[in-house]
Amino acid sequence: MSERLQDALLSIEGEAREAEDWGRVATYIPELARVPLKQFGIAVATAEGELFSAGEADTGFSIQSVSKVFALALALGRAGDQLWTRVGREPSGSAFNSIVQLEYERGIPRNPFINAGAIVTTDEILAGRQPKVALAELLGFVRAAVGDDSIFINDAVAASERAHGHRNFALANFLYACGNLKNPPDLTLGTYFHQCAIEMSVKQLALAGRFLVAAPGMPRLVSRARMRRICAIMMTCGHYDASGDFAFHVGLPGKSGVGGGILAIVPGQASVAVWSPGLNANGNSKLGTEAMERLARAMDWTVF
Ligand code: DON
């Protein structure tokens, strides 16, 4: 498989470089708007313990919403199934930062991957702890998953989002008003913004995803049953309103972030990370999504 996989990655990278439309970098977090558009990296960590990559595979980027996968794993470890009394697990059919649905549904977010749901998940991790301790636990989880203690939080990105995160403040305040935040909105959001500002390269992100691959030799950070559930939610909700499209074209559980990263899991076989900072209209990496489709097809990777 290794030669075929490396060839596929190189040819996918080559095609990406030829793109006429690289999408648009996110601008609502000013620090992300400064990232040069024309960058592309892809990496695959296999169940056999190998790591393959192509393109800008060592360049760090802001993982943003991909962090919600690690936060969910940690919150489920903390609260177990009780978490589902505070957040649902149905696709939302709305944008990641939608406000309107939260009021209709009385402060219970549809799923842990839209912003409202992720704020609740982070709130669960924070409950009973100082923000620094909660963040250290989350970073510890990610570092253990990657096997690399150099993973860090980019404070400038977190501060940039805090200064402009008015929609998230609206969501957190509404959640608090509904009794669905255990901590003051400001504290939960401070933690959430830092969580989103974790920085990784695609090589590191592919390694981080191995805890969901379910194969011998992979880091065992959650139970098999929990892996299945996290992957199910990635499949149905990981790309927001474009989750159906991602399932249709790629056929793998995946999670995107506005930094342009995407993590996808091939159960039993591999963890895949791609990054290109230009986004499509749904706020997911444009070339990253296209690359995932090409790779899944080239390797015949699918859960179906
Ligand atoms: O809360 C936000 O808006 C960002 N910190 C994360 C959003 C995100 O990554 C959406 N994903 N495509």
Question: Could you read off the pLDDT of 198-242 as tens digits, one per residue?
Answer: 999 999 999 999 999 999 999 999 999 999 999 999 999 999 999
Kindly report, as residue ranges, where domains of CATH 3.40.710.10 are found in the chain: 2-64+199-299, 65-198
Q: How far apart are CA 64 and CA 26, in angstroms?
A: 11
Q: How far apart are CA 102 and CA 36, in angstroms?
A: 34
Counting ligand 1 atoms within 8 A of each CB, the residue from 196, 199, 256 with the most, and so the one to mutate, is: 196
Fold of 65-198: Beta-lactamase (3.40.710)
Amino acid at site 249? H
Give the CA diameter of the chain.
55
Among residues 69, 258, 266, 272, which one is catalytic? Answer: 258
Class of domain 2-64+199-299: alpha beta
Asked about 38 being catalytic, the answer comes back as no
CA 104 – ligand 1 centroid, Å = 22
Ligand 1 within 6 A of CB of 62? no
Tokens of 78: 């903390």
Helix/strand/coil (H, E, C) string of 190-257?
A: HHHHHHHCEEECHHHHHHHHHHHCCCCCCCCCCCHHHHHHHHHHHHHHCCHHHHHHHHHHCCCCEEEC
Q: What's the pLDDT at 47?
A: 97
Instruction: Say yes or no to pLDDT of 95 above 80.
Output: yes
Q: How confident is the model at residue 145 (pLDDT cuts 50, 70, 90)?
A: very high
Ligand 1 within 6 A of CB of 91? no
Does the predicted model carry a pTM greater than 0.75? Answer: yes
Q: What's the pLDDT at 271?
A: 98
Q: Share the mean pLDDT of the chain.
A: 97
